[in-house]
Amino acid sequence: MIQSILFIIVALAALGYAGFQFSKIRRNILLGKDEAVERDTGKAWQNVFLVAFGQKKMFKRWIPAVLHFFIYFAFLVTQVELIEIFIDGIFGVHRFFAPYLGGLYTFIISFIEILSVLAFIATVTFLVRRNLLKVPRFHKIEMKGWPTLDGNLILFFELLLLTGIFSMNGADTVLQGIDPEHYPSTGNLAVSSWLGPALFGGLSEGALIAVERFGWWLHIIMVFIFLNYLPKSKHLHILLAFPNTFYANQQPKAEVENMSEIMDEVKGMMGLIEVDESAAMEAELPDFGANDIFTLSWQNILAAYTCTECERCTSVCPANTTEKKLSPRKIMMDIRDRAEEVGNNLDSGNPEFIREDARGEGVSLTKENYADGKSLFDYIDKEEIHACTTCMACVEACPVLISPLDPIVKLRRYEVLTESAGPSDWLPMFNSIENGASAWQIPDDRDKWAKEAVSGE
């Protein structure tokens, strides 16, 4: 009874705090502006099942893909056993499903154990790759500090989780022969039937019960820790990969979104549409592109929180390969960090973050009146976005359909069109396009040859 009460208290506290953290992540994502996108629902669900659930794009690099699949699949299947742990914990029973499922129960738990062994091999391999082999993509400048610690922590959590599983099952297997009334038979489990007696066969009944309870509590507590750790970790992609692949851009990868305001202006200049000149003169110029998370779309911020930090995007980026400053992975990490900063400031309620013209008695801090004097350009150097060639290599490489190019283009548009700035060697081209509708400085109108062809001159 005491154990059931303790379990319920721990479970409610862990689930409640996790829910609170996830609500903050949702709030941060929705700081971005709404963006209506036409979407083929069938294709969206296809992306979810093939890319997020099926790990389709991971297998372009098959060695880490197979290792990752072991951990991922073990994580999914282990949730079946987690259901039983919840039932046992709440109602004070033991191995609730074992008497009812019989041989099927043995098969399920054995399957989980085999996957757990494969997950253990993969986890140790990943730790070796990160810390002994020092694979370069895990040690670039944007990975210093927390990102490196984060990657190692989750692997150590995985090892503790597996320790809990095999301690619980191994001791339980031995106890079944000592006290079958309280420890129902699980059949011959694939791993624990030999590992349990080998490790715990010489222990007393009291010691076996302590080991079994230790494994049971370690397993569930690590699940709760993992759940509450996710919102602070890149491993949030375990959950967000599904909505991100559903809402991923379905345009052809070589197609960059046009801005309607610019398109209308160009069409007006070419006489393709009628333009009210007086209204156009009086209208306030819009801000083009984006300079902060408020002017990015919520889908851009969702993508940033989904980023796995795997560096596949950066490894294929031609700008990065030629040692330019751009790293698409860093761009997504910077967007996420900025969203976190703004979210934390909003949570503080500090009036110093209220825009000066909106301050007043009784005015509280909100998304609409927020201003801290900073923007994404405080995180992302303009040299980084200038280096992008818009080749789409990063978009093609991402295993969860993130497009680092989209925020890069929006930041560059803001700099060029709103700030009227940009690299000095770009300015002659901009002037030529504005004055002569051509990228090259030529004395004649760009369409002079067409006019002459029509007139027969």
Domain ranges, ordered by start, for the chain? 2-30+61-246, 288-422, 424-457
CA distance 359 to 340: 23
User: Tokens at residue 405, please?
Assistant: 């190019």
Q: Which residues of 262-293 are buried (b: 16+ CB within 10 A; e: fewer)?
A: eeeeeeeeeeeeeeeeeeeeeeeeeebbbbbb
Tokens 């999914």 sit on residue:
76
Question: CA 48 from chain center: how many Å?
Answer: 14
Question: 314: closest CA among 139, 127, 162?
Answer: 139
The residues with which 354 forms a beta bridge, in sequence order, are 370
| pTM for the structure as a whole | 0.89
Query: Could you tell me if 77 and 115 are in contact, meaning their C-beta atoms sit under 8 angstroms apart?
Result: yes
CA distance 316 to 91: 53
SS3 370: strand
Query: What per-residue confidence (pLDDT) applies to 254?
Result: 73
Neighbours of 135 (CB within 10 A): 14
Query: What per-residue confidence (pLDDT) applies to 38?
Result: 77
Torsion of the alpha carbons at 25, 27, 28 and 32, rounded to the nearest 10: 140
Q: Which residues of 426-455 are buried (b: 16+ CB within 10 A; e: fewer)?
A: eeeeeebeeeeeeeeeeeeeeeeeeeeeee
Would residue 456 be called left, alpha or beta, if left means φ above 0 and alpha means ψ between -120 and 50 degrees?
A: left
Residue 414 contacts by C-beta under 8 Å, 6 or more apart in sequence?
287, 288, 289, 290, 291, 295
Query: What per-residue confidence (pLDDT) applies to 288?
Result: 86
CA distance 313 to 383: 18
Element (H, E) at 321: helix 318-321
SS3 168: helix
| Helical pair 405-413 and 298-306, crossing angle rounded to 10 deg | 140
Query: What per-residue confidence (pLDDT) applies to 203?
Result: 94
User: Tokens at residue 111, please?
Assistant: 């399957």
Q: Which amino acid is at 238?
A: I
Query: What per-residue confidence (pLDDT) applies to 452?
Result: 76
Query: What per-residue confidence (pLDDT) applies to 276?
Result: 65
CA distance 429 to 361: 50
Q: Which CATH number fits domain 288-422: 3.40.1350, 1.10.1060, 1.10.260, 1.20.1300?
A: 1.10.1060
Length of the chain: 457
SS3 203: coil
Query: Could you tell me if 404 and 332 are in contact, meaning their C-beta atoms sit under 8 angstroms apart?
Result: yes
Query: What per-residue confidence (pLDDT) applies to 345?
Result: 96
Q: In order along the chain (457 residues), what is the average pLDDT of each group of 10 residues?
A: 91 97 97 85 94 90 89 86 92 91 93 95 94 88 91 94 94 93 92 94 94 95 94 93 93 78 71 64 72 95 95 93 94 97 95 90 91 95 94 93 95 89 81 74 71 72
Q: 166: number of CA atoms within 13 Å, CB side?
A: 22
The CATH code of domain 2-30+61-246 reads: 1.20.950
Helices (H), 132-204: 146-178, 192-200
